[in-house]
Amino acid sequence: MTAALVEKGYAHPDRVAAIGGSAGGLLMGAISNMAPSRYDVILSLVPFVDVVTTMLDPSIPLTTNEYDEWGNPEKPDFYDYMLSYSPYDNLSAQEYPAMFVGTGLWDSQVQYWEPAKYVARLRARMTGGGPIVFRVNMEAGHGGRSGRFDRFRETAEQYAFMLDQLGVEKRAD
């Protein structure tokens, strides 16, 4: 996909970024594992990155309701399939792009410890690249901080990280 965007002139080959949250954060984890050299920066927000462990815990809200979408990992076929793409379980010794991983302390859908242990394992396994920024919003849930201006500040921080990593500088007027 990124190659097609570059070929068509929609993206510069040295300035490719991606953003995703929740299940989209799972996608960010997958692309950073499978094609890290194609991205310069990834914003992964409240990422669902430890698929197997999370789906094996029926006490987490929504887990059993999600069996129709994700499968029940207590069944070996689903377990093996989830393990094959789970970003946390597929981190390896390689260079990773710069990443901003954000979570909320009060998230009932993707608890803060899931991205926290993902970032810890990522930092332990990566051989270069980065930086990896981990932001825990102590007042937020799954949708980020409430309040119009708080949300803008949160988004501004994420975009500032992205623009900085892409080498975008303020234009002199």
Please say if 12 is a catalytic residue. no
Average pLDDT of 113-124? 94
Catalytic residue among 32, 44, 86, 107: 107
Please say if 40 is a catalytic residue. no
Q: Do β-strands 98-104 and 41-45 pair in parallel, antiparallel, or remain unpaired?
A: parallel
pLDDT at 97: 97
Task: Indicate the pTM of the whole model.
Answer: 0.89
Catalytic residue among 12, 142, 164, 173: 142
For residues 104 and 110, give the distance between their C-alpha atoms in angstroms, rounded to a whole number: 9
pLDDT at 1: 62
Instruction: With a cut of 80, say whether residue 43 has pLDDT above it.
Output: yes
Please say if 22 is a catalytic residue. yes
| Strand ranges inside the chain, DSSP E | 17-21, 41-45, 95-96, 98-104, 128-129, 132-137
